[in-house]
Amino acid sequence: MENTDLQERLFIAIDFPQDFIAELVAIQQQLQKLKLFEGKFIASEQIHLTLQFIGSVDEDFKQIIQNALRLIRYQSFEVCLGKLGILPNERYIRIIWVDCVAEALQELVRHIETALKSFMVLEDRKFLSHITLARVKQVHNKKKLMQALSNIQVPHVCCMVTDFVLKKSILTNKGPIYYNIEHYSLTKI
């Protein structure tokens, strides 16, 4: 039996600059004022875009992952905010998110998958480029919430993605806490 005490729960993500995050927080504040659902808004310092979930690994396997990620060569690119959405569907809303628009995101995810799949099994899930804004526990009025989401104007804000990050997630009773383990630079355009 594995000793899970020595394992870390890892994922690969993109962090954003403060001005980009400020726009996301403004959208969260609009949603909060509506009072159409019970749930938890993601704290600004925890906002990120997950590229690949890895799961729980020991220190040796973490080193193998880090070595593989260090070999990735990809150029920096611009990403922009898109539309608001929900997961998994309108009948059962659990996440409110905003889309990240950049063709290069799919290609970066492919590079990461290629680097990792030679030594680990990855989730068989299509990449959905999104930033979680809120985790929903209960919706008071689904029709009003869906209408409100379609009415909120997401600003056309963009930023340069110059690196990606291997992160560790520690689950607590107040929600997950994320720590950066290592940054991987993308080359300048």
**CA-to-CA distance for 150 and 107, rounded, in angstroms?**
29
Phi, psi at 43, each rounded to 5°: -65, 145
| Whether 41 contacts 174, CB under 8 Å | no
Indicate which residue of 111, 130, 156, 183 is catalytic.
130
**CA-to-CA distance for 95 and 86, rounded, in angstroms?**
5
Burial 31-54 (b: 16+ CB within 10 A, else e): beeeebbebebbeeeebbbbbbeb
Instruction: Dig out the tokens for 46 from the structure.
Output: 């925890």
Q: Does residue 48 carry a catalytic annotation?
A: yes
For residue 127, give the 3-state DSSP assignment: coil
| Whether 9 contacts 167, CB under 8 Å | no
Active site residues: 48, 130
